[in-house]
Chain A
Amino acid sequence: AQSVTQLDSQVPVFEEAPVELRCNYSSSVSVYLFWYVQYPNQGLQLLLKYLSGSTLVKGINGFEAEFNKSQTSFHLRKPSVHISDTAEYFCAVSVAGGSYIPTFGRGTSLIVHP
């Protein structure tokens, strides 16, 4: 079965600084990878996804992520964060050729300070 590890439960950063949120997955077969964002009192919203092809994926709100198969990672990055990026971020994986049910990590709380 697949699993997702988000090692950082909380990442504090100052406004306009770069940020990286880490995500590692385990699976014995090919995977599809997703990053979702959850703002307070709202549902999860897709930021970006990797299906195949280019390992660098660009998403909404200036976020991007890079798929690294050898390191089984899919880290999320943003070169300059804004106060409004303060939210919970979830990495998810679904397995190719299976039921495609997304499995989520525990989440990383990004806290942007002025």
Chain B
Amino acid sequence: DTGVSQDPRHKITKRGQNVTFRCDPISEHNRLYWYRQTLGQGPEFLTYFQNEAQLEKSRLLSDRFSAERPKGSFSTLEIQRTEQGDSAMYLCASSLDGVGTEAFFGQGTRLTVV
């Protein structure tokens, strides 16, 4: 098992463009989380999936953000009409479903909107 992988690792885009990030969780994990991390801050929760169902979304997740997890495997996070404020590290994590199970994190995708 290679852990949680995210692609791309870095993305530079112009303001107003759309971007899509991919996350491949640990294969047997049925929970998948997306977080956003800005400089000097801890990870902020965006959304999570249990298998293919998106069960919770943060108020941070504006209408320009959409996430999917088809077939309960990999997940994508799309940001439409990017703004400079979207510049951040986007982290994906996965875990087993259960009491107190820890989340395993990928290395993140660093987005820079210019």
Contact = CB atoms under 8 A, between A and B. Distances in A.
Interface residues of A, number: 27
A51 interface: yes
Given A41-B107, A44-B91, A32 B100 contact: yes
Interface residues of B, number: 24
A44 B43 contact: yes
- Which 9 pairs from chain A and chain B are nearest by CB? A104-B42, A43-B105, A51-B100, A32-B100, A44-B105, A43-B107, A106-B42, A104-B43, A46-B102
Interface of B: 4, 33, 35, 40-45, 48, 55-56, 91, 93, 99-108
Given A41-B107, A42-B107, A44-B91, A34 B42 contact: no
- SS class, residues of chain B in contact with chain A: loop
B42 A43 contact: no
A99 B105 CA distance: 18
Contacts of A107: 40-42
Given A43-B107, A101-B56, 7 more contacts: A34-B102, A46-B102, A92-B42, A99-B56, A101-B48, A103-B45, A105-B42
A32 B99 contact: yes
